[in-house]
Amino acid sequence: MRALIIRQLLTIAATVILGGFLCAIFVRVAPGFDVDMQQLDGRLSAQAVEALRAKRQSSRNIVAFYGQYMRNALHGNFGKSLVSDHSVRQLIAERLPATIQVAGGGLALAWLIAFSLAMAVAVLRSRAADMFAMSAASLFLALPAAVIGLACVFADAPPLLAIAAIVSARLFPYVRSVLTRTGNMPHVLAARARGAGELRILFMHVLPVAAQPLLAIIGISVAVALGADIPVEALCGIPGIGQLAWQAALGRDLPVIVTLTVLVTIITVTLNSACDVAAEAVRGQHA
Amino acid sequence: MKRTVLAVLACLLLLPLGLLAQVRNELRFYLHSDPRTFDPLLVTDESSDTISFLTTGRLVCVNRETQALEPELATSWKTSRDGRTITFKLRDRVFYSDGSRFDAEDVAATIKRMMDPNTHSPFADIFGAGTLTARIVSPLEVKIISSTPVAGFDRIFDQIAIVSSRSPLKEKAALGPYFIADYKPGSFIYLKRNPNYWKRDGAGKQLPYIDGIRLEIQANRDIETLRFLRGEIDLINSLDSEHYDQIAQSAPASVHDAGPSLDSEQMWFNQVANAPIPPYKRAWFRSTNFRRAIAFAINKQDLARVAFGSHAQPAVGPISPANKFWFNRNLPPAKYDVNAAMKLLQQDRFRLDGGTLRDEGGNPVEFSIITNAGNMYRERMATMIQQDLSKIGIKVNVVTLDFPSLIERITEKFNYEAALLGNINAGLDPNEQMNMWLSSGESHQWNPREKSPETAWEAEIDKLMKAQSVSTNPAQRKKYFDRVQEIVVQQEPFIYLVNRDALSAISPSVIGAHPVVLRPETFWNIEYLRLGSNARGK
C-alpha cells in the first residue's frame, strides 16, 4: 500500500508539472498572445503602447516563465494577472466560494440523482422506469453544456442545476450498469432465491461489491463538473473560477490560465489517485 | 370585539407603511466586466469609466445634453491668450467622502501624478509631447501651465478626475456623488451616497437623491435584457438594436433611441508597406480610386436598415453628426453608386471579365475582410458588403477571429487584407484622435507607425492635425479639422459605414432620466435621478 501511495504521489507531481507546462505552451503559441486589447485605445501614446507590449514581453520565453512561475508557486506566489494586474492568488480566493457552491453543489446533486435513479431502476426492475431514466440521461448527454446553462438563465433556475443535469447524465448510465451487473452476480441471485428483500439485497449484497468500480469514477465526475462549470458560470454570470478561466482565455492571461490548470489538475489527479488507493483498500478487504 | 376592531385598524394602518418600507432607494444596473482599475487617472475601459464618473469630481464638466462646458469643482477659469496657461478658481468648502478637504493642492498633485511618465496615464497622452505643471496660487486658485499651446485646454479638464493628495484612502476618497462601499470581484460593486457631496438642488437639498447604486457585473447581454424586463435592474446604458427591439415589444415606454451616437463602424484596407500580402493587392489597396470605388459600391443605407434594424445612420465621414461642433456639415452625404464605382475602377485599368473583376495584370480581385467573432452586427455587415461587392465582380471572403487574434493581425503582424471594426469616440475633441490621424500614430490603422508620411495627403493631415492641436482659436481649429474630414472622405483610408444610434432602456420607475448620445447616456445626470414608488425591492 505504501508503494502505491508513493507511486500515486509521484504521478500527481509529474502530471501537474507537465499539465501546467503544456498549458503555458498552448497559451504562448495562441494567436494574440503578444497584444493587449488596450492597444486599440486611440488616446494612448507610442510610449504607453510600448509599456503595454513590455508587460507581455516577460512571458515570451515560456521555459524561463514556467521555471520562474513554479519557483514562485512553491512559495504561494502565482504572479499577477496580465489583464487586471490583481494577484492571481487573490483572484482565485475571491472566486472559489462561488465555484464550490455551483460546481460542488451541482456535483453532489448529480451523484444523488444518478444514484437514486440507478437504485430505483435496480430495485424496481421495471423496464419502463429504466427506459424513461435512460432517455432523460441521453437527452441531457446530447445537449451542450452551454444550452443547459442558458436554459437555467431563462428559467431563472440556480446554475448548480445545470451542473447537476450535465454530470448526472454522464454518471447515471455508468452507475446503473454497475448496479445491474452486480445485481446479476451469482451471490445476489442466490440471495434473491433465498427470498431476501430487494432493499436488503441492494444494501447487503450489491453496494459493497459495486463500491469499487463506483469509487473509480468519482475523479472523472469531478473533472466533468469542472469542465461544465466554465460555460455555465460564463453564461449565467457566476463570479467563480469558471468565469475567471473563460475571461483569462479570452485575454490570453498566462499566469491566471496556468494557475487554474495546475489547480484543476491537482484536484482531479489527486481525487483519481485517492479513489485508486481506496479501491485498492476495498479490494484488500474483500480478498 | 373592540380588540378585534383595533387589530384590524392597526393592520390597515401598518399595511401601507409596510409597502412603503419595501420601496428601495437603490439604483441597479449592470457593468459588463470588472473595472480594470479604480484609479481614475488610469481609466481605459468602460467599467472603470463608469465608476470614475460616479465617484470622482472634475474641475469642469461637459453638459452631456447641450455639449457646453459648465463649472464643477472650479467656479470659474481663464485661459491665457497663448493657450499655455489656464487658471482655475476653486469652489470653497468642498469635502471628500472621508471628510478631508479639497483644495488647490489636490489639483496640483493630480496633475503631477498624471504627467509622471511612470503612471502611463492615457489622459497625459492627450497633451502629446508637451509637459504640464501646476502652480498653487492660493488654496482656492491654481494655475496649470503647459510647455506648448493646448487647443481646447479647458474642455480637457472634463476628463481629468481630481484625486485627493492627503486622504489615506487616496483615489477611493470620493469627490463625486457616490463612493465605493463594497466590491466583490466578478459579482458586484456597491456605491453609497457621498454624505459630503457639494452639489445641491434648486431647493437647497443635498444631492444625489438616490442613496445607493448596485452595479452587478454581468457580461451576458441576454441576461441583462431578461432581468430588465423582469424589473430586477433599472436601466441599460447602452443597448444593441436586437435587444432594443426585444424590450420595445413588451415595454415600449422603456426604450430610448437618442439618434446617431459618436461611434462609427468602418472598414479599411491594409496599406502597410512590408505587410505579408501580394504586391499587386497592396497596389490596389494603396489606390485612392480603388478605395473610393469600394466605398461607392457599398450600400450603407441598407447596412443601417438591415444590419442594425434601422437603429443606425449611414456614416458621412470620420465625425458623427452627433458631435455638434466638430462635424463638417459640408461633406457630401453617403452615396451608393455602382456606376461611379465602375468608372473609378476603369480609371485604374480594372476590367470586368465574365462577371469577375480583374486588375491590369489579369489578377482576379478578391480579398478577405477580418472582423471580430461573436459580433453579429459586424458579421452581418461583412456579409452584406460581400454581396454588394459581388455586383462589381469582387469576391470577398469574410473571416471572423477572436479579438486578441484580430488585434495582433492589425497592430503587429499585419497579415490581413481588409478589416471591419468600430471606433468608440468617448470625447468630442479631435485632439483625442491624434494617434489615429498622425501618420506616426499607433492607431493609424491602415498604415501605423510611418517613419514619415508615405503619401501627400497623409502629410497634409499631419500638418493640419498638428496645427489644430496648438491653435487657441476655435474657429481656426474647426477650419483645420474640417479640411481633415474632407481629405479622409476623398481618400477613404477608412471607409466609414454607419453611425450606430445611442440606444438605452430605462425603467419607468427612474424619474428624471433624459438619455443622450454622449457617455454615460442614461445616468449623466445621476445626481438628479430619483426612484419612483413603483421601484420595489426584491
Give a yes or no: residue A89 inside a domain: no
Mean pLDDT, chain A, integer:
87
Does A33 share its domain with A74? yes
Q: How confident is the model at residue A263 (pLDDT cuts 50, 70, 90)?
A: very high
Q: Which residue of A has its CA nearest to B445?
A: A40
Give a yes or no: residue A27 inside a domain: yes
**Partner-chain contact A95 B185, CB within 8 Å:** yes
Give a yes or no: residue A153 inside a domain: yes
pLDDT of B17: 45
Q: With beta carbons less than 8 A apart as the criterion, state whether B447 and B396 touch.
A: no
Instruction: Give the whole-angstrom CA distance, residue B357 versus residue B342.
Output: 10
Amino acid at A34: D
Mutate which of A40, A57, A96, A233 to test chain B, going by most B C-beta atoms within 10 A?
A40
Q: Which residue of B has its CA nearest to A30?
A: B405
Does A59 share its domain with A151? no
Give a yes or no: residue A88 inside a domain: no
The pLDDT tens digits for B42-94 are: 988 889 999 999 999 999 999 998 989 999 999 999 999 888 999 999 999 99
Whole-complex ipTM: 0.75
Give the closest of A84, A95, A237 to B36, CB-based.
A84
How many CB pairs (< 8 A) connect A and B?
120
**Does pLDDT of B128 surpass 80?**
no
pLDDT of B21: 47
The pLDDT tens digits for A92-103 are: 999 999 999 999
**Partner-chain contact A237 B220, CB within 8 Å:** yes
Instruction: Give the whole-angstrom CA distance, residue B240 versus residue B394.
Output: 31
**Does pLDDT of A136 surpass 70?**
yes
Q: Which residue of B has its CA nearest to A93?
A: B185
Tell me the nearest-neighbour CA distance from A181 into chain B, angstroms.
45
Span A64-75, average pLDDT? 90
A242 contacts in B (CB within 8 Å)?
Answer: none
Give a yes or no: residue A243 inside a domain: yes
Interface residue ranges in chain A relative to chain B, Cβ cutoff 8 Å:
30-35, 37-49, 51, 83-86, 91, 94-95, 98, 150, 153-154, 156, 234-237, 239-240, 243-244, 247, 250-252
The neighbouring-strand residues paired with B60 are B71
% of chain B exceeding 70 in pLDDT? 94
Q: With beta carbons less than 8 A apart as the criterion, state whether B538 and B22 touch.
A: no
Does A156 share its domain with A242? yes
Does A115 share its domain with A52? no
Q: How confident is the model at residue B22 (pLDDT cuts 50, 70, 90)?
A: low
pLDDT of A121: 84
Does A241 share its domain with A259? no
Give a yes or no: residue A70 inside a domain: yes
B443 contacts in A (CB within 8 Å)?
Answer: 40-42, 44
B6-20, B38-52, B448-462: range with lowest mean pLDDT: B6-20
Give a yes or no: residue A90 inside a domain: no
Q: How confident is the model at residue A2 (pLDDT cuts 50, 70, 90)?
A: confident
pLDDT of A198: 78
Give the closest of B187, B222, B435 to A239, CB-based.
B187
Does A37 share its domain with A17? yes
**Partner-chain contact A153 B125, CB within 8 Å:** no
**Domain extent at residue A213:** 95-250
pLDDT of B60: 96
Q: With beta carbons less than 8 A apart as the criterion, state whether B458 and B286 touch.
A: no
Give the closest of A34, A44, A240 to B408, CB-based.
A34
Span B524-537, average pLDDT? 81
Phi, psi of B171 (to 5 degrees): -70, -10
3-class DSSP state for residue A263? helix
Q: With beta carbons less than 8 A apart as the criterion, state whether B397 and B366 touch.
A: yes
Does A33 share its domain with A117? no
Q: Which residue of B has its CA nearest to A38?
A: B44
**Partner-chain contact A84 B34, CB within 8 Å:** yes
pLDDT of A281: 77
**Does pLDDT of B119 surpass 80?**
yes
CA neighbor of B400 nearest in space, from B427, B372, B423, B420: B372
Number of domains present in the structure of chain A: 2
Give the closest of A34, A98, A156 to B412, CB-based.
A34
Give a yes or no: residue A168 inside a domain: yes
Tell me the nearest-neighbour CA distance from B120 into chain A, angstroms.
6
pLDDT of B534: 63
Q: With beta carbons less than 8 A apart as the criterion, state whether A159 and A146 touch.
A: no
Does A147 share its domain with A237? yes
**Does pLDDT of B1 surpass 60?**
no
**Partner-chain contact B217 A250, CB within 8 Å:** no
Mean pLDDT, chain B, integer:
91
Place of cell 454624505: B195
Does A189 share its domain with A176? yes
Does A239 share its domain with A120? yes
B220 contacts in A (CB within 8 Å)?
Answer: 153, 234-237
pLDDT of B535: 57
Which is more confidently placed, B395 or A118? Answer: B395
**Partner-chain contact A31 B401, CB within 8 Å:** yes
pLDDT of B169: 81
B412 contacts in A (CB within 8 Å)?
Answer: 34-35
Q: Which residue of B has its CA nearest to A241?
A: B186
Does A13 share its domain with A151? no
**Partner-chain contact A35 B401, CB within 8 Å:** no
Which is more confidently placed, B4 or B497? Answer: B497
Give A12's DSSP letter: H
**Does pLDDT of B161 surpass 90?**
yes
Which is more confidently placed, B121 or B302? Answer: B302
| This prediction's pTM | 0.83
Nearest-5° Cα angle at B55, B52 to B61 = 75
Span A105-127, average pLDDT? 87
Span B244-254, average pLDDT? 94
CA neighbor of B71 nearest in space, from B53, B82, B80, B58: B58
Does A8 share its domain with A106? no
For residue A127, give the CATH number of its domain: 1.10.3720.10
**Partner-chain contact B187 A40, CB within 8 Å:** no
Which is more confidently placed, A257 or A196? Answer: A257
